[in-house]
Amino acid sequence: MSKRPETIVLHTGHRADPTTGSVVPPIHQTTSYQFNSTEHAANLFALKEFGNVYTRIMNPTTAVLEERIAALEGGVAALATSSGQAAEFFAIQNICHAGDNFVTSTDLYGGTWTLFANTMKTMGIEARFVDPSDPENFRRATDARTRCYFAETLANPKLNAFPIAEVAKIGRELGVPLIVDNTAAPIICRPFDHGAAVVVHSTTKYIGGHGTSVGGIIIDGGNFDWEKHAERFPMLNEPDPSYHGAIWTQAVKPLGPIAYIIKARVTLLRDLGSAMSPFNAFMFLQGLETLPLRMKAHCENAALVAAHLSKHPSVKRIIFAGMHSDAEQKRRAAVYLKGGYGGLVGFELKDGMDAGRRFIDSLKMIYHVANIGDARTLAIHPASTTHSQLSAAEQARTGVTDGYVRLSVGIEHIDDIIADLDQALERSAVPLKRAS
Ligand SMILES: *Cc1c(COP(=O)(O)O)cnc(C)c1O
């Protein structure tokens, strides 16, 4: 089987359903599965054999999605979850317990920030936020209780590519795995190729691609030596009382380097229950089939939109991974993003808050929503919405200014996208005197 993305998304993990011949993976809308015998049932529960038990823990439709996305990212196995937030929480909770800490980039999706800074704190897990412009900040924040590093490939609003290889290398020296949220850059970045140990996605965004379903996934790179760093990972190297004393690095060894992802499935998903519904798995499989095509179109349109806006008199500044003026950011974008710079474009209006609001209110085709990765073009004005609770200083630290607008550029015809942007920009200009 070819390993190229365009083929993986159509063929990996399923070939003609054995009972019906169905070409498309069927939606297995069932909670449970008949055991062949008491011995079979006992083997499944003891992990001596792999098979379906109950849809909270695994499902055949979801399994195809997991296998396909694992292959796409170049990992060994994956675990789908009910949302991207659940995927991120599980990815960390799997190896980070009360009293432990992890080091995270400050450039984060808002929901991830609140999960790390507030909810995980109440569980006794400390998130140490560091500036990713200097990778050494990760080393400086590491101690004996640091269990992982966390970052996004291409975090908005700054849209800087994260230095994956640099931070992964520091982590491997110290025995700390890097978890990368690759939601904004599927296809164009493969974090495992640069040394990441675990990848997470909100499948809600580009993978689903049509704004229909919320979901997430964790992919195990199978490339981190949990046994070598046994003192840092007792949860994978000591008997687990929640699973009749299983030692995860030993229990599933014959099946490959999948200790991390198996533990997440059979303990966290079992206990916390944030499973993806089979119907949503089907929707994500459908989206996945055109992901390579769509990413190409998103990247092409975004580059054209960025070039057009950069020449517009109402626009003060463009924030786009393909247009950084800073030499190091330019280098990182070239190293980590291949075949395009993603579909996200930020820009700053000269006339600030009022112009930002007017621009959004004047859009006709482009949707005003808090989402990214839809086939449709989407826009949001963070200062009056997602970031309105932050102080001006906090907004500035996150990269949001009064006139900042974020676009998730879709796959419509470029002329129609630009026409809508242009007419809204014209109306956004603040008149010298208000009419009323
Ligand atoms: C949307 C998003 C999430 C959260 O995913 P949900 O599916 O909405 O729970 C996490 N990280 C990034 C980068 C996102 O864009």
Tens-digit pLDDT profile for residues 41-91: 998 888 888 889 999 999 999 999 999 999 999 999 999 999 999 999 999
- Same domain for 150 and 205, yes or no, is yes
Average pLDDT across the chain, whole number: 94
Testing ligand 1's pocket by substitution, the residue of 202, 371, 378, 398 carrying the most ligand atoms inside 8 A of its CB is 202
- CA 202 to centroid of ligand 1, rounded, Å: 5
Mean pLDDT score, 416-430: 93
In a domain, 63, yes or no: yes
Ligand 1 atom with minimal separation from the 155 CA:
13
Tokens 């890097």, residue? 178
Ligand 1 atom with minimal separation from the 86 CA:
9
Ligand 1 atom with minimal separation from the 372 CA:
15
In a domain, 168, yes or no: yes
Which pLDDT band, with edges at 50, 70 and 90, does 434 fall under? low
Ligand 1 atom with minimal separation from the 371 CA:
1
- Same domain for 385 and 421, yes or no, is yes
Q: Distance between the two ends of the chain, CA-based, in angstroms?
A: 67
- Same domain for 185 and 326, yes or no, is no
- CA 87 to centroid of ligand 1, rounded, Å: 9
β-bridge mates for residue 219, sequence order: 78, 199
Q: Whose CA is nearest to atom 8 of ligand 1?
A: 84
**DSSP string of 345-402?**
EEEEETTHHHHHHHHHHH-SSSEE-S----SS-EEE-GGGTTTTTS-HHHHHHHT--T
- Same domain for 199 and 340, yes or no, is no
Tens-digit pLDDT profile for residues 163-176: 999 999 999 999 99
CA 215 to centroid of chain Cα atoms: 10
In a domain, 173, yes or no: yes
Q: Whose CA is nearest to atom 6 of ligand 1?
A: 84
Ligand 1 atom with minimal separation from the 373 CA:
15
How many Cα atoms are found within 13 Å in the side-chain-facing hemisphere of 63?
A: 15
Domains in the chain: how many in total?
Answer: 2
Residue 415 CA: distances (Å) to CA of 29, 304, 345: 42, 10, 17
CATH number at residue 11: 3.40.640.10
In a domain, 284, yes or no: no
- CA 83 to centroid of ligand 1, rounded, Å: 8
- Same domain for 233 and 187, yes or no, is yes
Tens-digit pLDDT profile for residues 103-155: 999 999 888 999 999 999 999 999 999 999 999 999 999 999 999 999 999 99
What residues make up the domain containing 106? 5-279
- Same domain for 91 and 201, yes or no, is yes
In a domain, 434, yes or no: no
Ligand 1 atom with minimal separation from the 183 CA:
13
- Same domain for 201 and 339, yes or no, is no
- Same domain for 272 and 316, yes or no, is no
Q: How far apart are CA 336 and CA 201, in angstroms?
A: 17
In a domain, 222, yes or no: yes
Among 83-97, 267-281, 392-406, 417-431, which is the least confidently predicted range? 392-406
> Would you say residue 31 has pLDDT above 70?
yes
Closest CA to 213 of 265, 289, 285, 112: 285
Which pLDDT belongs to residue 1?
Answer: 45
Tens-digit pLDDT profile for residues 215-274: 999 999 999 999 999 999 999 999 999 998 999 999 989 889 999 999 999 999 999 999
- Same domain for 101 and 177, yes or no, is yes
| Alpha-carbon dihedral sign for residues 385, 387, 390, 391 | negative
β-bridge mates for residue 347, sequence order: 318, 405
Cβ–Cβ under 8 Å, residues 384 and 397: no
Entry pTM: 0.96
Testing ligand 1's pocket by substitution, the residue of 205, 280, 378 carrying the most ligand atoms inside 8 A of its CB is 205
Closest CA to 246 of 266, 226, 231: 266
Testing ligand 1's pocket by substitution, the residue of 104, 112, 159, 374 carrying the most ligand atoms inside 8 A of its CB is 112
In a domain, 76, yes or no: yes
DSSP tag of 12? T
- CA 111 to centroid of ligand 1, rounded, Å: 7
Testing ligand 1's pocket by substitution, the residue of 154, 182, 183 carrying the most ligand atoms inside 8 A of its CB is 183
- CA 309 to centroid of ligand 1, rounded, Å: 27
- CA 196 to centroid of ligand 1, rounded, Å: 19
Q: Which residues line ligand 1 (CB under 6 A)?
A: 83-85, 109, 111-112, 152, 181, 183-184, 202, 204-205, 214, 216, 372
CATH number at residue 346: 3.90.1150.10
- Same domain for 336 and 403, yes or no, is yes
- Same domain for 319 and 275, yes or no, is no
Tokens 């900040």, residue? 137
Which pLDDT belongs to residue 259?
Answer: 97
Q: Which of 232, 256, 279 finishes a domain?
A: 279
- Same domain for 36 and 145, yes or no, is yes
Radius of gyration, CA atoms only, the chain:
23
**Sheet strands (E) in 182-333:** 198-202, 216-220, 315-319
In a domain, 206, yes or no: yes
